[in-house]
Structure 1
């Protein structure tokens, strides 16, 4: 089944909160900052600002963001952590509610498949497609994970691809022009104007291979990234060329030590490296009220800004290719942090 835009997508995007400048000092609109990057740029070499638990704005101890998806997109965020709960409606069709643990986030994956109430505030797929229709040189990376009521992979994918396939001919474009059809890390020119789905596993069902989302029809599979993943010594069930820092319950000083060490490793990787580096600058020790996600963000983000600023000032004689920080996933990202990551991407020398 195919359909055109029904008008149920989010309202017009809000104006961006800040501007960035390119290497020539010219202003860059954060809604369109990727338009200044070359098509040859391998996505794993672009410094990409992202958000952890991107839709989580409700629930005691579960709030990780204070901006909705459309605002995050307008402000330059390009990687989103989306947690989906499988729900079957009275007509038998399946849609996905967005959750953080048990907390419903007043969001659904799609507006066309129904199953949501009048309290739904966000439709992930709608907002992303609308943004890309208006900003054709950008790309959006969606990390897709099951959260609550986890289904076997065949059941999950059957529902998921039905929903995605239903958007064929959205805005007059075939599905392959809307969603990346490959299954390997793309260059930017291959994903402009498209969503790149990256599937990750959670702990539920982790011991049963039938629950692993490791055979997507399109997009990438990263396995379980709820832990540290070392590209040099991956676990038996882990994909290769992926390097992740995700110690999400360490005390604050220990978390920053691991974050900065992982960012340093990313920074020191040469321009020919193929590993995808992902650093989660997010943590929580809920129900400890002094270690909620906001408390961690208030502690970690100022240090992150200082660290990024220092690395961006390293002379080109030492790092001729420029600064690279990989994907940086954050709670409550500040405009200054987004700005620094965009600056790194704009000044990097891509092979």
Structure 2
């Protein structure tokens, strides 16, 4: 029995080593721009005003829209980098859900992915979103906001100060009630993932699938199953509730870019097979999405 266990342990170690080398191979490749995956510095094309055609009466919970996971995670190496386009190009490419993680230190709110500082602060994000919405008043932006790499559990006052300093109070949708498209135009809808009075909608009120742990690339199929099942649920679920599906994932032996290349490809095929059908899929949040994939998601409206 002991010999068998040692053999299994050795086999598993070799398998993990092969997977790790595969991750390194993907990581060391040059920049890629494919229909489903893009880690270059700019999208293939832009789609800045796509929400203009959505009826004012449609609740935001019934709109299918693309998003980015860890929207500002540009630094720290392959294990922490999740995006390659700057915020303004993400918005102009059609991204409408942003995932922001802030570290709270002495009233400052810096952007982090785990321990890694992303060389930006929340004020720069608010300025960028405000500028975009001023230029494109037909659009709306949803932004999940949570504390990361600090545990003060008290960022509300700092967030309010940043809104007043870097944007304006009227930029926000000030209700936990889901707005219609007409009510949301020109607004930033904060999905509040922190305690305090209502600043926007509550992140926890969404129907969320965020199975982000992908230990190795051998677990990609399990991750895809989670994504597939939640998208299917969004199509038939309660239309008054917003569905949010994270297609992103990572692990020690599965870097974000390696997972994205595989999951984004499956997502692209899944959506391609349903092309031409009007279907509510909710918010689909990705690492390194490509412009054609964003457009495909948008077209479900």
Fold agreement, TM-score > 0.5: yes
Question: Is contact 1:282-1:297 (8 Å) kept?
Answer: yes
> Deviation at 1:18?
2.3
- Alignment correspondent of 1:166: 165
Partner of 1:332: 288
Structure with the bigger RCO (C-alpha within 8 Å, sep 6+) is 2
| CA-to-aligned-CA distance 1:317-348 (integer Å, 9 cap, x gap) | xxxxx211100010001112101111112xxx
1:185 and 1:196 map into 2 onto residues whose CA distance is 9
Tell me the residue number matched to 2:201: 220
The secondary structure found in structure 2 opposite 1:18 is coil
2:33 corresponds to which residue? none
Given the alignment of the two structures, is residue 80 of structure 1 paired with residue 36 of structure 2, yes or no? no
Which of 103, 106, 118 does residue 105 from structure 1 map onto?
Answer: 118
Task: Report the 3-state secondary structure (helix = DSSP H, G, I; strand = E; otherwise coil) of the residue aligned with 1:165.
Answer: helix
Q: Deviations over 1:53-87 (max 9, x none)?
A: 01001113101001111110110001000000113
- Unpaired runs of 5+ in structure 1? 1-13, 20-29, 89-93, 111-122, 201-212, 224-238, 315-321, 346-351
Aligned residue among 242, 245, 251 for 1:279: 245
The Cα shift of 1:165 comes to 2.4
Deviation for aligned residue 1:275: 1.9
Q: Does 1:264 align with 2:264?
A: no
* SS of the residue 1:143 aligns to: strand
Are 1:199 and 2:192 counterparts?
yes
Question: Is the alpha carbon distance of 1:59 and 1:309 closer, same or farther for their aligned partners in structure 2, counting shifts above 3 Å?
Answer: same
Q: Tell me the alpha carbon deviations over residues 170-220 of structure 1, each in whole angstroms, 9 at most, x when there is no partner.
A: 5xxxx32x11122211111111111110112xxxxxxxxxxxx24433201
Aligned to 1:310: 273
What do residues 101-158 of structure 1 show as CA deviations (whole Å, max 9, x unaligned)? 0000011111xxxxxxxxxxxx1011101111110111111100100122133xx111
Return the alpha-carbon distance in structure 2 between the equivalents of residues 159 and 167 of structure 1.
12
Match of 1:187 in 2: 180
Task: Give 1:15 shift.
Answer: 8.9
Higher helix proportion: 2
Deviation at 1:38, TM superposition (A): 0.9
CA distance in 2, matches of 1:265, 1:183: 23
C-alpha deviations, 1:20-72, integer Å up to 9, x for none? xxxxxxxxxx1111111111111111011000001001113101001111110
2:14 corresponds to: none
Change (3 A) 1:190 1:157: same
Which moves more between the two structures, 182-191 or 213-222? 213-222
Query: Does structure 1 conserve the Cα–Cα contact (< 8 Å) formed by 2:153 and 2:195?
Result: no
Confirm or deny: 8 A CA contact 1:312 1:323 kept in the other structure.
Answer: no
For the residue of structure 1 that corresponds to 2:203, the secondary structure is strand
Distance 1:189 1:59 in 2: 39
Q: Provide the aligned C-alpha RMSD in A.
A: 1.8
Check whether the contact 2:127–2:166 (CA below 8 A) recurs between aligned residues. no
CA distance in 2 between partners of 1:47 and 1:17 (Å): 21
1:32 match = 49
Contact 2:133 2:139 in 1 (8 A): yes
Does the 8 A contact of 2:192 with 2:199 survive in 1?
no
Aligned to 2:81: 63
SS at match of 1:285: coil
